[in-house]
Amino acid sequence: MKKMVMVAAAAVLALAASNAGAQSVKVLRLGSHLASSHSVVKTADKFAELVTAKSGGKIEIKVFPNSTIGDQRALVEGMQFGTVDMSINDAGYLSNFAPRWGICDLPYLWQDYGHVRKVEDGEIGKLLQADLLAKGIRSLGWMDSAFRNVFINKEAKSVKDLKGMKLRAPESPVYVKTFQAMGMNPTVIPWGEVYTSVQTKVVEGFEQPAEGAFTSKMYEVTKYMIMTKHMYTVLSINISEAIWKSLTAEQRTIISAAAAEASAYGRKLAEQLDGEAITGLVKNGMKQVEVNKAEFQTAVSPVWKEYGDKYKANDLIQKIVDAGV
């Protein structure tokens, strides 16, 4: 009997220790609207690995791709309210909450990868992060995707060839204005619904970096990749400020360090996968069509002035331009 009591007591103690260990693990959920094979989600996975390693398993980041815990609006609003822990979001979408982020999506603003990173890592990047923090979201680091192109089912080499086309646009004022300036009819649709929307002819096409099109198998519903390179996708690794404040100083240090490493990893990966995606799209039957960029730049030039005037950001825009010279 005494032996049975001792065994039972040992079992209770072991269970208590197990529960205590489980309770000591801090779990954070990170959502993305993109596919699990996309560089953004791969970067999120890398971030999760780094956090686990740096914390000795005391912090766990669970990654949810494919809008499984919400599209971009749900993720960003959730971070504001503290109901979503983390997400990686693009500048265009964040501009709905912190308008100056829309500057990052002005058409034909960026010269190359180096230009983007010089701005992100400088004073302008810090200014944009402060804008976002004022909305309850803390940017932990930058991530990039690539230049964006138009995907449709007919060949187009000029602005005139695209006139009147019903094109899917992200929920971003800059995107909508840009496609209107090109003469198209932009329709806002969440990314997770784009494949079906093109397939059922709700829209005639969409625009996206090559990687997004490839990982979502958009070559099954569109046949032409029009190389407009009209915008560059800037992204940020974000955490709810309410969640951030609930963390200990040690947890914050670990997460910040992991985010910095993940950002560097993601930047390299995005460059690599963009080239691979273009090759993959062509191998799957998509035709790559080059255009006269100067014609498109002229068509969208009014968007710069309108956006700069509306948000008193003309000086900021000029500083970004100067950084690329």
191 φ, ψ (degrees, to nearest 5): -55, -40
Q: What is the pLDDT of residue 23?
A: 57
Q: What's the whole-model pTM score?
A: 0.84
pLDDT digits over 50-94, tens only?
Answer: 999 999 999 999 999 999 999 999 999 999 999 999 999 999 889
Q: Which residues of the chain have pLDDT under 70?
A: 1-23
Q: How far apart are CA 167 and CA 198, in angstroms?
A: 9
Check: CB of residue 75 under 8 Å from CB of residue 93. Answer: no
Burial 81-101 (b: 16+ CB within 10 A, else e): eeebbbbbbbbbbbbbbbbbb
Distance (Å) of CA 182 to CA 65, 105, 159: 32, 15, 6
Domain 24-323 fold is D-Maltodextrin-Binding Protein; domain 2 (3.40.190)
Q: How far apart are CA 207 and CA 198, in angstroms?
A: 12
Q: What is the pLDDT of residue 270?
A: 87
SS3 label, residue 302: helix
Q: What is the pLDDT of residue 1?
A: 46
Q: What is the pLDDT of residue 256?
A: 98
